Each structure stands twice: as C-alpha cells, then as structure tokens.
C-alpha cells in the first residue's frame, strides 16, 4: 500500500479519483436545545482491560481531484450524515460517517416495527435486493456493539453498497440491526438511519470482514489513495472527500503526526494550554472523532477547569453550568509542533432562554465498572496484544482526550489509512 500511495502521489491531480461529499450543519440553536435535553447527553467512557471488558465501539505529497457528490447533513453539530445506497435496486439510507467506530449498520424491518426509537427510520429489505446474500458459512453472523449510550444488535449480511452515483462496493459485509433500545431517545429524533464507521478494522465487531473504505480501495482502481479529508463547516456547508483531500480548503502546509496505534484515530499531543496554564505537557493523546460533538478531558483536568470557572455540575446534561459573564480562555492543543486553537466562544453554550451557560469541556471517564461503553472481549484482547500493555489504545502513563467537532471544525483534517497518520491544516 505504501508503494501504491507513493506512485499515486506522482500522478497529476486529474488522475487521482476522489469522492466529494458536501456536508452541512444544524443551526447552533437546534444543537444546543438537543444537547441540553435532560438525559440525552452521556459522556463517553474508555475502560482499561484490567478493570473490565473495555472501550467503545497519504503522504504529504498526495493530491485531490473533483468527484461525485452525496448530500450530507450534520446532526447535533457532531454527526455528519449523508446518503448511502444498499442493494439492487438501491435502497437509500442516511448514515453517520464516524471516525470513532469501524462498523457499518442500518435498521431492519423488525427494528422499525418493534423498537420505539426506530419507527420512523428507513428499513433495509433483503428480499427486495437481488444482490443480497447471507454471510458465508463459518463467518460471524451476529452483530452486537456497545456505544456510549447503549447496545445495538442484529445480524451480518452482504450486499452492494453505493457511494455517490458511480462508486459500487460489491459483497460488502454490514449489519442489519433489529435492536436499538440502547441509543435511547437521541436516535428517535436523529435524522440518520445508521452508522458507517471510518476507524480501523480492529475496532470492528467483525474485524475479519473488510470495511467499506478498504473494499472500495481494493475494488475501484481509480481510488488510489486510501485517505479521506473532512471540512466541517461552522454555520456553513462542509465537505468529506474520500480518496484524497481538497487542496482548495486548506491554507499552508499539512502537519502530519504518526498515530500512536491504528485502532481509534489516536494522535500524540505535545501539550495542552488553556490561557496561561499548561494543562498537559507531553503526556497526552487525542482520539479524533467526527461522531462526537464536544471535547472530553480526563476527569481530573475537566473538573479543575470547571472549578476555576466557578462551574456547577448538572448531572441532567452532564455539563458544568457557569456564569455567562465568566471570562473563558482560549484552549490550545499543540499537535506535531503546531497549535490548534479553540476560541473561548466555542467553549461555552448558552440555552435558548439566554440565562444559562454551560462549559463545553466535559469529563472522559476511565475504568468505571458501570460503563456501558464497552467492546466485545475479543476486540479488547486484540487491542491489548497490539498495545502490549492495556486495553486502552495509548501507551501506559498517557492521559487521553476525546476531541470531537468543537476541535475538528477549527481545521481541515486528513486521515491517512495506509500510512497510519493524522494530518491537519489551517482553513483557507
């Protein structure tokens, strides 16, 4: 794959194919209302394999090329979703493109009939697709994943998946889910049907089955670069580019860092600075997650930050209430020697009454026995073997931040699967 990427980098831009997917964003008022709905917001949890069964479920010279379009909308300023088609003839679904997970699932008719939060979703009908097939004998057939909010389960199958109008991925393994109770009311009001994970296969509930991205690369010779780029518009349209990145979106050079390990998109952080304070210096890592809206810090750091603002924790929304007049410093993450700055105004949410403000840094929980954010035991074992230490996808002694769209919309991001690198650049 490295040779493939190197050769592709030598080609003119017109010879490198990409799929370009426009994205848009919920109005800030609608996002705030959903986030501050009691019971709808649950902080993610990563767990050490030592304490339980653990964790949820391009080279710099590469170039971009114009391609097909898929209309995508952003749910809750965090979940960017768009149309994906499955089957022959095609059945259309809205799916979240999520760098924090690696599975692809859509609802079944049983889900829309029996699950209260699934009634209005688009259901996949295997009997209506001539390209549908059950998984091969001996392959994993049952699907079960735990997200931070709860379980989703169903059965694996295979069918043709289409991205945009011209990119078919044949015999793609995906899950047809029948149980979505664990996603709660958030899923009921969401505009997406399913999730298409963009993390590494080791996080998948079926790591022996290639992901959509991997199959696309292997089946379509015009897609020569196994990478993608995200521009997350802030009150403006954005774009997901598959097969490269969009040079017109960036200013200056791309800063690249090697991933700590190819599980989540987890990158080393040089330091974290909050105003004049240094919160972390060379001992942090960041999970880059397009499926998460806010920033989640290690619990001790989040608590200290909130206390310095006079914050009061509201368990109903899992956020700290602060005085709207409290000055909040900018937050800087130094990654690869370059600062990613989150301005103070993006660290505060104000409710629709205008009377209450909430600090948008929440706690990332680690090691809690009560956690619902767990992967299957075999996935944890694989991560443990890869890391050589614990089930967490970072070296021992490092704390971990979960960096969602609050950070990712400040920059253009490039996700290089082949080279296991994360890149970012200033926005044009």
- Catalytic sites, residue numbers: 98, 289
Among 221, 262, 268, smallest CA distance to 419 is for 262
Q: Which two tokens stand for residue 38?
A: 């009691």
What burial class does residue 246 get, using C-beta atoms within 10 Å of its C-beta: 0-12 exposed, 13-18 middle, 19+ buried? Answer: buried
Q: Which two tokens stand for residue 211?
A: 């992901």
Distance CA 396, CA 224 (A): 36
Task: Report whether 428 contacts 233 (CB < 8 A).
Answer: no
Distance CA 313, CA 43 (A): 13
Phi and psi at residue 29, to the nearest 5°: -65, -40
Instruction: Give exposure, 197-227, as e/b (b: 16+ Cβ within 10 Å).
Output: bbbbbbbbbbbebbbbbbbbbeebeebbbbb
Contacts of 300 (CB under 8 A, 6+ apart): none
């Amino acid at each position: 794959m490295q040779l493939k990427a190197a050769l592709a980098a030598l080609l003119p831009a017109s010879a490198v194919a990409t799929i370009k997917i426009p994205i848009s964003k919920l109005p800030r008022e609608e996002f705030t209302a959903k986030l501050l709905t009691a019971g709808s917001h649950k902080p993610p949890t990563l767990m050490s394999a030592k304490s339980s069964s653990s964790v949820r479920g391009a080279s710099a010279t590469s170039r971009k090329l114009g391609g097909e379009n898929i209309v995508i909308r952003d749910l809750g300023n965090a979940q960017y979703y768009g149309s994906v088609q499955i089957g022959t003839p095609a059945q259309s679904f809205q799916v979240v493109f999520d760098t924090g997970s690696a599975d692809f699932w859509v609802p079944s008719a049983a889900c829309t009939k029996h699950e209260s939060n699934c009634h209005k979703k688009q259901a996949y009908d295997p009997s209506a697709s001539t390209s549908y097939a059950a998984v091969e004998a001996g392959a994993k057939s049952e699907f079960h994943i735990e997200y931070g909010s709860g379980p989703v389960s169903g059965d694996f199958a295979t069918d043709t998946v289409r991205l945009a109008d011209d990119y078919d991925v044949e015999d793609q393994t995906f899950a047809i889910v029948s149980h979505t109770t664990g996603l709660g009311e958030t899923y009921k009001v969401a505009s997406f049907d399913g999730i298409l994970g963009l993390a590494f296969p080791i996080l998948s509930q079926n790591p022996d089955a290639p992901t959509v991205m991997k199959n696309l690369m292997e089946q379509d010779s015009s897609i020569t670069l196994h990478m993608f780029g995200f521009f997350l518009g802030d009150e403006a349209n954005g774009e997901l580019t598959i097969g490269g990145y969009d040079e017109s979106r960036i200013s200056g050079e791309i800063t690249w860092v090697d991933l700590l390990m190819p599980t989540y998109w987890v990158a080393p952080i040089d330091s974290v600075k909050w105003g004049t304070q240094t919160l972390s210096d060379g001992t942090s890592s960041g999970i880059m997650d397009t499926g998460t809206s806010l920033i989640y810090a290690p619990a001790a750091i989040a608590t200290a930050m909130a206390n310095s603002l006079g914050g009061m924790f509201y368990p109903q929304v899992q956020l700290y209430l602060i005085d709207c007049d409290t000055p909040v410093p900018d937050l800087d993450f130094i990654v690869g020697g370059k600062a990613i700055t989150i301005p103070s105004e993006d660290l505060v949410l104000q409710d629709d009454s205008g009377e209450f403000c909430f600090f948008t840094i929440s706690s990332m929980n680690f090691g809690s026995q009560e956690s619902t954010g767990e992967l299957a035991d075999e996935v944890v074992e694989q991560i443990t073997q890869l890391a050589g230490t614990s089930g967490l996808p970072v070296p021992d002694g490092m704390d971990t931040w979960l960096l969602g769209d609050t950070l990712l919309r400040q920059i253009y991001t490039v996700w290089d699967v082949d080279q296991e690198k994360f890149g970012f650049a200033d926005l044009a």
